[in-house]
Amino acid sequence: MSENVAKPKQEKLVSLVIPCYNEEKNIERYEAELIPVLEDLPYDYEAILVDDGSTKDDTWGAIKRLSEKFDTVTGLKHSRNYGMGAAYQTGFDHSKGDYVVVYSSDLEIPPVEIARVVAKMDEGFDLVNTHRVGRWSEGGGLASAIRRVPSKIANGLIKRISGVEMHDTGSGLKGFKRFIIENLRIYGDMHRFLPAYAGLYTKNFCEFEVEYQERTYGESAYGSLMRTFSVFLDLFTMKFMLSFATKPFTMMPGRLFGSTGLVSFSVGFVATLYALFLKFGLGQPIGQRPLFIGGLLLTVFGMQLIMTGLLGELMMRTYFESSHKTPYIVSEEA
């Protein structure tokens, strides 16, 4: 049970989700640095710590010791390392808060900023992001530049593709209202684009600057340079998913593949007819002519595209109906 004296709280719950991977020493700091900040929030809170299959230290032991001391702390342990996206989703699935806040396990952002995130959501914002100032600073030398430049390019591309104006989409401190979490499903490394995907459900968001402080213990497991570069590959998937999710019935597979297939079929059919006219009307040989072979290929290819579009229509309808998704989101009820 908690050793702290309970204080009367307003009728809301804040869920803090923290993915942890080999962070034993940092978790041991939570009692002195993180818990007091949470206790001072105007609302009740629950802290959900997800051990993402740590193997190099006793992260799970540290989480259990903290949860035994504070009844507001819950520990969840993955059977193996699934990645930060899976750790976030685990925390989201077990959270009950009206506000859900994600936070870096290494305390790279001062815990006091959590209260500012909650205050911003109290002001009415549905999504609150933080911008880490001083991370990979200009005076950090070549190693800092190697990480800073790709990160800036990636953030710029994410902003341009998603339309969500954020400077630091990878920040470890973010806040979401409940309706976003209930509709947000994270697959693979989608956690890199949380503000972009959350932008599907709301345009009422803000971002404020926070101080960045280097980790005291351990090494970053989720922020390697290779992961930064892999963001560029994931951008293609993000663009498709954002387009599909925002206007699914204007991006119908039947239209997308059907229109292309119709053009291909039409051009191929006309070319084939012309080749047959040369053969039977003018008596010219066409067996080795590129026009005849190309026409047949375009005709067959066009038919395949049209059939692919029809299959895509069936799959899309199955997706929406089986997952009970709707083309709208209700964020509040009166």
Nearest to 204 by CA among 129, 127, 130, 131: 127
Residue 29 has pLDDT above 50, yes or no: yes
Superfamily of structural domain 10-246: Spore Coat Polysaccharide Biosynthesis Protein SpsA; Chain A (3.90.550.10)
> What pLDDT, on a 0 to 100 scale, did the predictor assign at position 153?
67
> What pLDDT, on a 0 to 100 scale, did the predictor assign at position 115?
97
Of residues 71 and 309, the one with the higher pLDDT is: 71
CA 228 – CA 158 distance, rounded (Å): 12
Q: What is the pLDDT of residues 104-161, one digit of tens each?
A: 999 999 999 999 999 999 999 999 999 988 765 544 554 555 555 566 666 667 667 6
Of residues 16 and 237, the one with the higher pLDDT is: 16
Q: Which residues are CB-contacts of 295 (< 8 A; sequence separation ≥ 6)?
A: 267, 268, 269, 270, 271, 272, 273, 274, 275
Domain residue ranges in the chain: 10-246, 253-322
> What pLDDT, on a 0 to 100 scale, did the predictor assign at position 2?
47
Q: Phi and psi of 209, rounded to 5°?
A: -80, 145
